[in-house]
Amino acid sequence: MAEVHAVKDADTIKLVSHLLQVRYGQQMADIWNVGINLALRISDLLSIRFDDIKDDRLTLKESKTGHTANIQLNPKAKTIIERIKEDHPDHLYLFQSHRTTQIKHRAPKPLSRRAVSKAFEAVGKELKLPLGTHSMRKTRGYHLYHATKDIARVMRMLRHRSEAVTLRYIGLTQEQVDKDFRELVL
């Protein structure tokens, strides 16, 4: 599997959302937009049930670490989630597969990671970007770091244990760190 990167330009973030909506439908664009705003791994994002959301908070157990993520929803994520709930009041999952709702006597399931991955990859190829499901989480981390320059804050948001992992994860190279030191003269 090829390494994917953060989307570093705000206009490109919007373009990815637009292309996902046009090529794959509103649900894929919603996954992208909610995913960027929640910074969850794709398996956790797709497993969100509406009952994991209370008021403006999402609480769920992360599948990779077993830790509990307690995330306050920002206005954009909250608006999208409310619209999805209004459009699909009978769904259990935030990103429920429409196929399982069409088959009687079949338990509802979330959209598959594979379907999301294929859509993101295709849009990435179209834009000549290494785009994948992890790009949402990396993008959130990258933009938080550039807004705050606080790697500890990014680590807490991504629930990482190592600064080195977080720096590599968000695509911050030693060259960029050196540039920050050269350019910020006090």
- Which of the four pLDDT bands, split at 50, 70 and 90, describes residue 100? low
**Closest among 119, 111, 137, 94 to 29, alpha carbons compared:** 119
Q: In the predicted model, what is the mean pLDDT of the chain?
A: 92
Structural domain span for residue 77: 10-132
- 3-class secondary structure, 57: strand
What pTM value is reported for the model? 0.90
- Which CATH number covers residue 58? 1.10.443.10
In a domain, 97, yes or no: yes
Give me the sign of the Cα torsion angle 109, 114, 116, 118: negative
* pLDDT tens digits, one per residue of 37-94: 999 999 999 999 999 999 999 999 999 988 899 999 999 999 999 999 999 999 999 9
More confident residue, 2 or 59: 59
What is the mean predicted confidence (pLDDT) over 103-111?
A: 83
What is the maximal distance between C-alpha atoms in the chain? 67
Round to whole Å and give the CA distance between 35 and 25. 16
Q: How far is CA 90 from the centre of its chain?
A: 24
- Which of the four pLDDT bands, split at 50, 70 and 90, describes residue 167? confident
Domain count, the chain: 1
In a domain, 150, yes or no: no
Give catalytic residue positions: 41, 64, 134, 137, 160, 169
Round to whole Å and give the CA distance between 108 and 56. 24
